Amino acid sequence: MSKRPILENHVRELRTRRGWSQDALATRAGLSRAGVSAIEMGRLVPSAAAALALAAALECRVEDLFRLTGSAVAPPDAWAWPPKREPCRYWRAEVNGRVWLYPAEATPMGVLPHDGVFRDGGPAESGRADPSLTLVVATCDPAIGLLAAEIQKSTGLRLIVIPRSSRAALTLLGQGLVHAAGVHLGSAEAGRGNAASVRKLLGAGYRLLRVAKWEEGLAVAPTLGLSTVRAALKADLRWVGREEGSGARQCLDELLDERGVHAKPPRRVAFDHRGVAEAVRCGWAEVGVCLRLPVEEAGLDFLEVRQESYDLCYPEALEPDPRLRALIDAVRSIPYRRSLAGLPGYDAAEAGMVQGITL
């Protein structure tokens, strides 16, 4: 374990002496309120520019606001969750001031270079990437590779994807193990479905970054000749399901409940959208709920059920982090939005819109 100096800051003390709110200081310094809050709480080390801006606003020296005192033992790298087997390839990334080891797994982007291999009870680093320059997102978006490519091209930052359903992704976000979580837990017409889910699971203090509206529906074997969702629900078909907490599972449950139709319980469960399409393509099932993109990739028939809002959720306090800024800028960039809009089932017209979560 290495030792590191402790950054002592007096931002809150000098702010309250003036009777200013965090919003007031943020406005004077040209920073976000979330950034000021994170700095005061010690969750964010300010950049040189931010420190100078705060000092100018408070009419003091930077040394009056920040100073290094003593030293502390940096916590050792820890597993974000235990590996299932040894040897285990892993990635390293810093989230919320802590460096985590993530067991490498299959991602929508294929096999990604690992940072080391854990064997014989210890890690063996390969030094491939800087943990502080790595962004970690948990999502089920099959097109997340487009976003990773845009971030890499524009900033040089690495995006690590943890494939998870909406609820599982939000759980990791609440535990401080990822920077952002993909969520699609409500139809686009409902408007605030994702916000309600985040509020219920995590509470306030988070933001939703709109990525797209996308089409979710049924992947159907072409040989069945089905043309409507109702026909698929009434037919005696073999279904492939999705795990509890996924947007696809929620979509199917709501569909069956609304129409009073009782399909046979799925014998098999897929863990992502492409898994559903692959199960139908290979003949292990005849129908399942997933997005249009993997259905068309697999050459299957698609029966649209609804359009959903797909957002990336992140903590408000992390917004000043350069990696979060890079994520937001990439989603708003013209090249990314054009690439996304060219995919079947994706509507990028609202990409980049941000919504705060309040109680």
User: Residue 118 and residue 66: Cα distance in Å, rounded?
Assistant: 38
User: Residue 277 and residue 61: Cα distance in Å, rounded?
Assistant: 60
User: Residue 211 and residue 223: Cα distance in Å, rounded?
Assistant: 34
What are the phi and psi torsion angles at 130 (to 5°)? -85, 125
CATH of domain 215-308: 3.40.190.10
pLDDT at 326: 95
Element (H, E) at 111: none
CATH of domain 3-73: 1.10.260.40
pLDDT at 191: 52
Q: Given the structure tokens 């979710």, which residue do they identify?
A: 216
| 3-73 and 215-308 have identical folds | no
Are 128 and 114 contacting, i.e. CB atoms less than 8 angstroms apart? yes
Half-sphere exposure of 247 (CA within 13 A, CB side): 33
Q: What residue ranges do the domains of the chain occupy?
A: 3-73, 78-205+320-341, 215-308
pLDDT at 1: 45
Are 262 and 271 contacting, i.e. CB atoms less than 8 angstroms apart? no
pLDDT at 302: 98
Q: For each of the chain's 359 residues, which pLDDT tens digit applies?
A: 445 566 778 898 888 888 888 888 989 999 887 778 778 877 677 888 888 999 999 999 888 888 876 655 556 678 999 888 889 999 999 998 889 999 999 898 888 889 999 887 666 766 667 899 999 999 999 999 999 999 999 999 999 999 999 999 999 999 999 999 999 997 655 556 899 999 999 998 999 999 999 999 999 999 999 999 999 988 888 999 999 889 999 888 887 775 555 556 677 899 999 999 999 999 999 999 999 999 999 999 999 999 999 999 999 988 889 999 999 999 999 999 999 999 999 999 999 999 998 87
For residue 267, give both structure tokens.
């014998």
Are 137 and 159 contacting, i.e. CB atoms less than 8 angstroms apart? yes
Are 112 and 89 contacting, i.e. CB atoms less than 8 angstroms apart? no
The answer to whether the predicted template modeling score (pTM) of the entire model surpasses 0.85 is no
The reply to whether omega before 87 is within 30° of 0 (cis) is: yes
